[in-house]
Structure 1
Amino acid sequence: MIRTKLSLRRPLAVLGAALLGLTGAVAVAGPASAHHTTITAKVSCDQLAGERVITWTVENSETDKAATLQTVTAEPNTPVNLRSDSTKPLQGAVIPKGGKIRAVQRVPSDTASAKLIVHALWKKNGQEATNDGSITLPVDRPCAPAPKCVDASKASYSHTFDGPKGTATVKLDGDLPLCEGSEQPFTLVSYFAPRPQFATPQYVYGTPDTDTISGDKKEIELNVEIPNCHTQVDLIWGGKDEVIEEITEGGPRYGDKKLGSPGAPGNRSNGPQGWYNGGDKSCTTPASTFASNCDGTVTVSLSNDGKDGKYPVEFEVKGENGWSKKVTVEAGKADNSTVVPAENAGKVEVLVDGKVIEGGTYSWERPEDCPLPEITTKADCKNFSLTASNPEGGLPVKVEFTYGDKTESRTVQPGKSETVTFTAGKDDTALVTLPDLDMEMEAVYAPEGTCGGGGAGGEEPGLPVTGVAAGGIAAGALALLALGAVLFFVARRRRVRFTA
């Protein structure tokens, strides 16, 4: 009996996969006679089982004789069964004439090398031979069991983000869930902001929304309310304990915690940048009210106490002729210190950021409770005098006195009086007009004593007046003089008749 032993070695290249089939390095017996078997092998990795799978191929060198594998020895010593029928061992199998047979052997994932030795018998002529083949396994490429979950520290995610609507989603990538006891929270938060671009300070608006991806939850949805003003919205890595309540100048920032950031951990989620700055109006509620004063000035009250009042507001109050004043009002406060001078109060505007605020335009109007000018008269047979007195605290008033065909105008300053004297004539009334107040009145000429000639300016005082009780007229005139004959203007364009 002739026994031959051949050896052949070559390297194996392996690709990682759930089941990777690659040709391995094999050593094969070199024939000492014409009859022999040739052994080759391939190796793959079954990650689900955590084993390496070796497929052995044993080829018959004879084209006219079948060979029976009488003994099969494997290293490591694990079963080697036919690939066509995994319940039957390779030992005892018959290789057809000039044919080949395949068998499968499973070995631990950390196996470095394997060897197969077969003893074949050719019954037709009694020839037999022992041959072996070996393979080097790629231990530098681990063949570990396929993972059933992923740890949160190694997981990757995908996200969506809509800042103007205050919505976001975060999803765990891949088919595997997070491992039990492993979880990752994410938070969506919105802020009041002073500008539609990034600026400080910022204050959390409403309640941030936090949800957690865990073993039984692979996707979450987040929603927050957005203020009706300038805002910032951030999608961050972490729970509510990561939320910065106030973002201030020089204070802490989220940095790469924002999803979609270039650095970790934000770059572990694939999607758009998870931050937004916008809003079309200020997070303040500036308001103004106006009050006209009797002296022609306007008092402007400024307030910053609306529901969105989070920031100081700088108001600018403008009047006519270039008059202007700037006032800063803190959040939740009001200011009543601005008084527009009378000469500038014809048109008043209140502006914020260069724009007139709603209801921020006003013009001075005379208050109804302002004291009216007083008119007194004095008359004798030669003269008829009228005096206009303007109370303190008011505006200068223009007064026009008309008697007969003569008119005199005077401007009476507050706290002052102006008197006009006419030579008594035949007219028994004078007209007093205040054009600025759109008012006028008639003053009756009623001289002290009795003037002769039966009329004003007569030469014979004391003669009876036709059709009138002279005593009653005289008594009435004296009574008016005794009281100062004071006249109050109480109606616009209302003509009041009085006697002097």
Structure 2
Amino acid sequence: MNRLSFRRAVAVAAGALLGIGGVATFAAPASAHHSELKVTAECDSATGEWVTTWTVGTVAPAGVRNYKLIQADAVSTGGENAGQFTIDGIQAGAVEGKEYPYTVGEPVVGQARLANDVTEASLTVRAEWDNKFKETEAKSTSIKFSESCDKVVTPPPATASPKATVTADCTGDVAVKLENGEEATKPASFTVTGTDGFSEKATVEPGKDKTIKVPAKNAGKITVTEEDQEEPLFDDKPAAAEGCVKPGEPSGGYLSTCDELIFEISNPADGETVTITFTPNKGEAKTLTVEPGKTGTVAFKAEEGLTVTPTGEGLDETEPIAWEKPEECDTPAPGQGGGEDEPTLPLTGAATSAIIAGAAVLLAAGVVLFLVARRRKVRFTA
């Protein structure tokens, strides 16, 4: 009968326990090293892409602080761009000169954009820690897309295309032309303000225009605004109109003939109706009204000492004008006498016609002896 000593049995038992303890000691660290992966995805409707977010983390025993990925393979399936893709922030090998760039216990997050027609995407990694322990089996995670990520086109906001043109006329009134361009996608809402409380609003449809009249008394300064514009379209005193032609000045003249004192008023076409009253020192006054573009005359019978005073609104000179007997009235024509005892005959026929014709020529030539000076000066423009 064989007997086992108690001491040997204790030794065998102790050895067994020591062996189990050894296995636990060396196996525990091996089971404590592993990677953990997670992935999520969202559709970016502005671009029509899947935005995938990948998270990688690792677990390691105490004292192991850093690790690196010795494998990081990202693959997509389905769609025109299927195949390998890159995840920003997750890569295999050293990063920025660090042999083990990632920290145990701190997740590494990366993103990748995938085409809208991708049906599945996966990431496979294998880690190595700074204690040289390597994962024997790679870890993977994947995501499937049951539908496509369609791009949603958002129409641009409706906008107006406002424009304002401010033009003064010769009277000082101002026309404010408000326009909304053909490219506009909404009506333009304008406000036109002037001095002394003038204000008017207008709405202009795309491709249309409206004109607002601002009286001269309110046109010292004009401001044009549009509700969507930060700055005024116009904010200033309107420029004065150019090329304005003001009413012309009528002119007057007079001529003494042997028989009459004749006055003539010529009024240019761009003038204003003028009225002059002629008052003689003997007899009744006469009034002459001449419209623009017309010429008028008035005559008084000649006699010694006759004077006529013209008066009227805007007339510069109102001094009396005297009749002066022309020299030719004292010279008899041949065959009509001329001796000291022979009476002279009145001038008739050719000589009289010549005098009258000469008087007409002088008037037409403008023998100006008084001027009707109106409040406005004549202005000529090209």
- TM-score (structure 2 length as normaliser): 0.41
- Structure number with the bigger relative contact order (C-alpha 8 A, sep ≥ 6) is 2
* Greater strand content: 1
- TM-score normalised by length of structure 1: 0.33
1 or 2, which has the higher helix percentage? 2
